Structure 1
Amino acid sequence: MNSSDLQTYLYADDGLIPNHPTLPVLHYRGVMQRPAETEACFNKNGWLNSWTNGVFSYHHYHSNTHEVLGIIRGNAILQLGGSKGDQLKVQAGDVIVLPAGTGHKKCSASADFKVVGAYPDGMDYNVRTGEQGERPQVLEEITRVPLPTTDPVFGANGPLLHQWNSDLI
């Protein structure tokens, strides 16, 4: 993987979507040469509780776990970081790792758009939407989510371990 194939994004709390205070989103562009094998790759690397579907078309986040999304078909525009965040063009073969608290939604997509999602060690996930009643509990939950022990694509030697290393934060 070339360094130009990895992009990172760090988003501030926008008052509704907390985002993660220290961990960046990782966007691996075109990393999956065989998108149909994405779920097996995630599972082999300890990212479990996987599912295949789309992405909600409203801002949401997970306060109790990190999430990986692998684009297995089609393309889309995803907005990350809440309403003030970035709109990213993603396509089959891309992988996005979202730290706990990071807002995401689908803005538009091709008719065949499909993603595989998974969570480190198969953690259960919640769905939060930025309702006022969610705070301060979600802020506390986000800080308690442990760092993953593996990268969902590269296992024990992946960029996630360097990018999210607690010594670097």
Structure 2
Amino acid sequence: MSVETYYLKGNGRVPNSRLPLLIYRGAVRVGPAELEDQMRRNAWPPEWHSSFGMYPRHHFHSDAHELIAITRGTMIGLFGGHDGVRATVTAGDVVVIPAGVGHFGESITDDLRLTGAFPAGYAIHDFRLGYPDEYARMVDRAQRVPIPAHDPLYGAKGPLVEIWSNALSRNN
């Protein structure tokens, strides 16, 4: 398993984050039920399932970090807004999207299956499409979402906790 990190700067519409987008490559080596149990143990309870991919328009959530696990098939996503990073993710990959980071589903395979989650106590209450007049307020709001105490797959000592804590230390 490897973890890719992508630092995405705000663009006047999408706040993005001081925390990097994380893509865990080949991280899921168990079936969907076992994965969900693992996520629950690490305080990232599964919230949704989809065979349609990510929402097909640039959007972000200012009030929660989000996890998307690819349990079957392949998806191409654009992260960070129109000028962001395009990534192909496939079965076994997990994407962790910091609050404020834009994401958009470009294409999927017919067999796609996703599981989505948020840190315990969080959920999407704020679905934003990136209007310029709300940009400054959304940057501030997304920056106030705390780093979770547990990595969704590896617990308190997992890569998310270390990578995100180090990112905040460098940016403060």
Count residues with an aligned counterpart. 165
Contact 1:38 1:70 in 2 (8 A): no
Would you say 1:39 and 2:36 are equivalent positions? Answer: yes
Match of 1:16 in 2: 13
Using the alignment, how far apart are the partners of 1:42 and 1:11 within structure 2? 26
Distance 1:75 1:124 in 2: 25
Residue type of the partner of 1:159?
A: P
- Residue in structure 2 matched with residue 167 of structure 1 by the alignment: 169
**1:46 and 1:87 mapped to 2: Cα distance?**
28
Structure 1 runs not aligned, ≥5 long: none
With over 3 angstroms needed to count, the CA separation of the structure-2 counterparts of 1:129 and 1:33, relative to structure 1, is: same
C-alpha spacing 1:75/1:35, structure 2 compared with 1 (3 Å): farther
Determine helix, strand or coil for the equivalent of 1:163. Answer: helix
Q: One-letter code of the match for 1:33? A: R
1:140-169 deviation per Cα after TM superposition (whole angstroms, max 9, x unaligned) = 211210110000010111001110114354
Alignment of 1:2-151 (within 5 A): 5-20=2-17, 22-36=18-32, 37-48=34-45, 50-53=47-50, 54-125=53-124, 126-151=126-151
TM-score normalised per structure 1:
0.91
The normalised TM-score by structure 2 is 0.90
Unaligned runs of 5+ in 2: none
Equivalent-residue separation in structure 1 for 2:145 and 2:98 (angstroms): 9
Query: Which contiguous aligned blocks of 4+ residues in structure 1 show a shift greater than 4 angstroms?
Result: none
Q: CA RMSD in A?
A: 1.4
